[in-house]
Amino acid sequence: MGKFIPGAVLLTAWAGSTLAQPPIPPASVVRFNTLCATCHEGECSARLSFRLDPGATDSHIRRYTGDIPQQAARELNALLEHMKLDCGYYAIDLPSPKDGRWKAELLQQLHAAEERAYFIPLGNLAAGRHRFTLTFEHEAVVSVQLVSARFDIAEQSGLRTREGKAAAVLVADKPGDYYLRLRTEQPARLLALDMEPLR
């Protein structure tokens, strides 16, 4: 009878470490991918180095985020683990539009206001040139990056809007999942993103 106990203990431990974890909310994922990723993007060592103890990790994170709730710091920490172990971006739990047109309500949820940045999952793109038309509420100067799931970056920086609009043409080298990362010089509200493949 006693021999069944280790299995039961193992199962409980496993359930506790994986199944019980709620998904990380988009706000933390977007912040990680626009802030922490400037240094930690593409770190795929498949392990944590543990050079920092938990207290040091916490103050390291808060050095960049400012004072944030403990839960938010934990989420950001977990996202670095995910980056290192899975070698990719954490899935953002929001629907992507099928027609290539993102509207303000969805973009709002993909915005890290503190970073003046957006991180937008584009889904699967064909290889080739794509045009991204941005509509802001006011004039803005914006840098646009097309990032592959393997962290290859094509960038157009210092784009200036005219009547709130700017367009970037960027090349996807291979077919696959892509993301758009935007950063504006001043706080700016993005009202629309339209994506179209070019011949």
DSSP class of residue 32? I
Q: Say whether residue 27 binds ligand HEC (CB under 6 A).
A: no
Q: Say whether residue 52 binds ligand HEC (CB under 6 A).
A: yes
Tokens matching residue 77: 């920490």
Q: Say whether residue 60 binds ligand HEC (CB under 6 A).
A: yes
Q: Say whether residue 58 binds ligand HEC (CB under 6 A).
A: no
CA distances, 192 to each of 29, 68, 100 (Å): 21, 29, 10
Q: Say whether residue 48 binds ligand HEC (CB under 6 A).
A: yes
Nearest distance from C-beta of residue 144 to ligand HEC, angstroms: 20
Residue 185, C-beta contacts closer than 8 angstroms, at least 6 positions apart: 116, 140, 141, 142
Q: Which is nearer to ligand HEC, 76 or 134 (CB)?
A: 76
Q: Say whether residue 94 binds ligand HEC (CB under 6 A).
A: no
Q: Which of 24, 76, 180, 195 contacts ligand HEC by CB under 6 A? A: 76
Q: Which of 6, 19, 22, 50 contacts ligand HEC by CB under 6 A? A: 50
Nearest distance from C-beta of residue 76 to ligand HEC, angstroms: 4
Q: Say whether residue 85 binds ligand HEC (CB under 6 A).
A: no
* Residue found under tokens 């646009």: 144
Q: Which of 25, 41, 65, 88 contacts ligand HEC by CB under 6 A? A: 65
Q: How far apart are CA 76 and CA 32, in angstroms?
A: 6
Which run of H or of E encompasses 141? strand 141-148
Q: Say whether residue 72 binds ligand HEC (CB under 6 A).
A: no
Q: Which is nearer to ligand HEC, 36 or 166 (CB)?
A: 36
Q: Contact at 8 Å (CB) between 179 and 120? A: yes
Q: How far apart are CA 122 and CA 189, in angstroms?
A: 19
CB atoms within 10 A of CB 48: 14
- Cα angle: 193, vertex 41, 100; to 5 degrees: 20
Q: Say whether residue 80 binds ligand HEC (CB under 6 A).
A: yes
| Residue ranges binding ligand HEC (CB under 6 A) | 35-36, 38-40, 48-52, 57, 60-61, 64-65, 76-77, 80
